Chains A and B, each alone.
Chain A
Amino acid sequence: MNATWSRFNITSIVLGFAFLYLPIVLLIVFSFNESKLVTVWGGFSTKWYVSLFHNQGLMDATWVTARVGVISATVATVLGTLAAITLTRYTRFRGRLLFSGMVFAPLVMPEVITGLSLLLLFVAVGFDRGFFTVTLAHITFTMCFVAVVVQSRLVTFDRSLEEAAMDLGAPPVKTFFQITLPVILPAIISGWMLAFTLSLDDLVIASFTSGPGATTLPMKIYSQVRLGVTPEINAACTILIAVVAVGVIIASIANKRREIQRQLDEQAAQRG
């Protein structure tokens, strides 16, 4: 394999990754810029981080975003997991085509349409726009991403494990919690994280469905970006990137540990 990994392949990967990472790296570097001009280096400084923490509006928005993210990701994970089970386990029921359509379509649906349609629903049923409606909207579009992630794990799941448990007399619900859930747990966790970051990230749907008092961080960043690029926004973005990066690293370490543990268990089982 190594011999066929030609210079062309390596060059395209290096260039590709440079393209993917350079903008983010530059953004982080310039958040430590002394100068107010974002693109002119004026020496190292952390003053923008200090002023960030004194920006009450930004801090409020961060708090709203974090709460929306945690609540919506958690509910979306439950609903998305149920949807994934439905898609993989129940191949025949009335309206299955509609169901799979409703799970897959939001993945590619332009956000302006999702946002507008949810807003009109909330107005029609008389929900006050605010924290609650943003959360509902985020649950709806992120649960479909969770469903796809969990489903990809479920299709490779060995069902004979479940059958064995039930043959031994375990009721279905118990079987699910003791056999199925632990096996698909890594997928559920990554589904939760995906839902959380999608919620953290969303500008368009939140702008449509939010009301007074529920300004999310992306909405705040967006309104400031429109006024001009400032190092303070760079600092806010850097913190956001750092939070997500730490989360991803912890999750992948946890995943790796579990994988190693599983291999050790398997070896132990083989030795008998």
Chain B
Amino acid sequence: MTHIAATASSSTQPAEALLTTLAKGFVNRLVIIIPYLWLLFFFLVPFIIVFKISLSQTAISMPPYTPVLDFKDGVAGFFAGFRALNFDNYTWLTQDALYFNAYVTSLIIAGISTILTLIVGYPIAYGMARAPATIRPTLLMLVILPFWTSFLIRVYAWIGILKPEGLLNQVLLATGLISQPLVILNTYTAIFIGIVYSYLPFMVLPLYSSLEKMDYSLIEAAQDLGCPPTGAFWKITFPLSLPGVVAGCLLVFIPAVGEFVIPDLLGGSQTLMIGKTLWNEFFSNRDWPVSSAVAVILLLVLTIPIMFFQQAQAKAQEQGR
């Protein structure tokens, strides 16, 4: 606040200084209020509505659900509405094994894909961090660039590669490695490939930024003292890159659980993931209350990793300052 005092003393007119302070206070408040209100209205309120509608029943009308908890009948009506709330949609979710399987499958697929992405991404990030400083910005640019091309297009590109008569099978057949085309498209393998491919930059970037900061003389010291390279990696490099590992894994895992495009286009109709289930429930069955209930449970499942992510972000922000 030193600058306000300075302004006040230089202008010699207290009224003007007061005006500046007031203006500053107003601007300050506006800077906070505008994005705050926007996010409240378009991010938080919608979740409350999702929760509300998950407690209503399907109806053949537009919108296709019975009204719950509105103020049409005044405050008394609002409270009366509490008694009318029903948890049928949630009971339904627990009774039909389909939903439970979809949640579990999604978590497992996301978990395996995250580990695969880490295994693929780590050597790339490590190689980049150890590259000559002059070419590092170019390498970084090359990792970010695919991120700018459409997600849908990148997933679509894999259909042509993985199809039974696709490019991968053509190459493998031509080289004589296989005699029968492999069935990859419309299996879980295709989903793994799709997720690893699409989310690779999200893994590489945080890994790179923590590996780049590392002091490599530590490894030289370890090796001088007789530590084998793999030992040095697990004892020094990996622990030091752990913040990057955690950030990268969260950035891949959380969106992957609710992924829709990849399981839908690469996984075919046989594979089961919760994002796809929600989509079908909404667009094919037109059951808004059940899809809301699916969303609420998905959100609850993801609350813990999302909170971890938010904390990691906040911490990174603190350190940046």
Which one of B49, B150, B279 lies within 8 Å of A237 (CB-CB)?
A: B150
> Is A58's CB within 8 Å of the partner chain B?
no
Closest residue on chain A to residue B36 by CB atoms: A99
Distance (whole angstroms) from the CB of A233 to the closest CB of chain B: 7
Given known A86-B36, A104-B313, A140-B42, contact A116–B150 (CB-CB < 8 A): no
List chain B residues, Cβ under 8 A from A98.
44
> Is B90's CB within 8 Å of the partner chain A?
no
- A136-B46 Cα distance, complex, nearest whole Å: 13
- A67-B302 Cα distance, complex, nearest whole Å: 33
Residues B131 and A5 in contact, CB atoms below 8 Å apart: yes
List chain A residues, Cβ under 8 A from B63.
123
- A60-B151 Cα distance, complex, nearest whole Å: 21
Residues A197 and B148 in contact, CB atoms below 8 Å apart: yes
0/1 interface trace, chain B 38-55, chain A, CB 8 Å (1 if under): 111111111101100100
Residues B39 and A102 in contact, CB atoms below 8 Å apart: yes
0/1 interface trace, chain B 14-52, chain A, CB 8 Å (1 if under): 000000100110011001101110111111111101100
0/1 interface trace, chain B 113-150, chain A, CB 8 Å (1 if under): 00000001101101110111100000101110110111
Which one of A93, A163, A244 lies within 8 Å of B148 (CB-CB)?
A: A244
List chain B residues, Cβ under 8 A from A12.
123-124, 126-127
Which one of A39, A85, A112, A208 lies within 8 Å of B170 (CB-CB)?
A: A39
Which one of A20, A140, A240, A252 lies within 8 Å of B146 (CB-CB)?
A: A20
Most interface-central of A4, A80, A107, A116 (chain B CB within 10 A): A116
> Is B76's CB within 8 Å of the partner chain A?
no
Among B79-87, B172-180, B237-245, B252-260, the one that faces the other chain is B252-260
Among A42-50, A151-159, A181-189, A261-269, the one that faces the other chain is A151-159
Most interface-central of B36, B170, B320 (chain A CB within 10 A): B36
Given known A12-B124, A163-B3, contact A103–B39 (CB-CB < 8 A): yes
Residues B53 and A120 in contact, CB atoms below 8 Å apart: yes
We find that the number of chain A residues with CB closer than 8 angstroms to chain B is: 97
Distance (whole angstroms) from the CB of B9 to the closest CB of chain A: 10
Which one of B121, B165, B321 lies within 8 Å of A155 (CB-CB)?
A: B321
List chain A residues, Cβ under 8 A from B41.
121
Residues A87 and B278 in contact, CB atoms below 8 Å apart: no
Residues A13 and B35 in contact, CB atoms below 8 Å apart: no
> Among residues 86 to 129 in chain B, which have CB atoms less than 8 Å away from a CB atom of chain A?
120-121, 123-124, 126-128
> Is A253's CB within 8 Å of the partner chain B?
no
List chain B residues, Cβ under 8 A from A16.
120-121, 123-124, 127, 200, 204
Residues A233 and B156 in contact, CB atoms below 8 Å apart: yes
> Is A1's CB within 8 Å of the partner chain B?
yes
- A6-B251 Cα distance, complex, nearest whole Å: 29
Most interface-central of B63, B157, B259, B275 (chain A CB within 10 A): B157
- A112-B114 Cα distance, complex, nearest whole Å: 20
Residues B46 and A26 in contact, CB atoms below 8 Å apart: no
**Interface size class for chain B?**
35 or more
List chain A residues, Cβ under 8 A from B258.
109-113
Residues A106 and B43 in contact, CB atoms below 8 Å apart: yes
> Is A79's CB within 8 Å of the partner chain B?
yes
Distance (whole angstroms) from the CB of A95 to the closest CB of chain B: 7
> Is A272's CB within 8 Å of the partner chain B?
no
Residues A116 and B160 in contact, CB atoms below 8 Å apart: no
- A20-B121 Cα distance, complex, nearest whole Å: 11
0/1 interface trace, chain A 88-119, chain B, CB 8 Å (1 if under): 11100101001111111111111111001110
Residues B149 and A19 in contact, CB atoms below 8 Å apart: no
Residues B160 and A38 in contact, CB atoms below 8 Å apart: yes
> Is B222's CB within 8 Å of the partner chain A?
no
Closest residue on chain B to residue A207 by CB atoms: B283
Residues A110 and B292 in contact, CB atoms below 8 Å apart: no
Residues B39 and A99 in contact, CB atoms below 8 Å apart: yes
Residues A102 and B40 in contact, CB atoms below 8 Å apart: yes
Which one of A24, A89, A116 lies within 8 Å of B157 (CB-CB)?
A: A24
> Among residues 214 to 240 in chain B, which have CB atoms less than 8 Å away from a CB atom of chain A?
216
Residues of B within 8 A of A (CB): 2-3, 6-7, 10-11, 20, 23-24, 27-28, 31-32, 34-36, 38-47, 49-50, 53, 63, 120-121, 123-124, 126-128, 130-133, 139, 141-143, 145-146, 148-154, 156-161, 163, 165-167, 170, 197, 200-201, 204, 216, 250-251, 254-255, 257-261, 265, 275, 278-279, 282-283, 288, 291-292, 295, 298-299, 302, 305-306, 309-310, 313-314, 317, 320-321
- CB<8 Å pairs between A and B, sample of 30: A9-B131, A23-B161, A26-B161, A27-B153, A79-B34, A79-B35, A82-B31, A82-B34, A83-B35, A98-B44, A103-B35, A104-B313, A107-B309, A109-B254, A111-B258, A112-B275, A112-B298, A113-B258, A116-B295, A120-B50, A143-B35, A155-B317, A169-B11, A172-B24, A203-B152, A221-B156, A226-B265, A237-B150, A245-B145, A245-B148
Residues of A within 8 A of B (CB): 1-2, 4-6, 8-10, 12-13, 16-17, 19-21, 23-24, 26-27, 30, 38-39, 79-80, 82-83, 85-90, 93, 95, 98-113, 116-118, 120-121, 123-124, 136-137, 139-140, 143, 147, 151-152, 155-156, 162-163, 166-167, 169, 171-173, 193, 197, 200-201, 203-204, 207-208, 218, 221-222, 225-226, 229, 233, 237, 240-241, 244-245, 248, 252
Closest 8 pairs (CB-CB, A-B): A110-B258, A117-B46, A12-B123, A16-B124, A9-B127, A155-B320, A166-B3, A23-B157
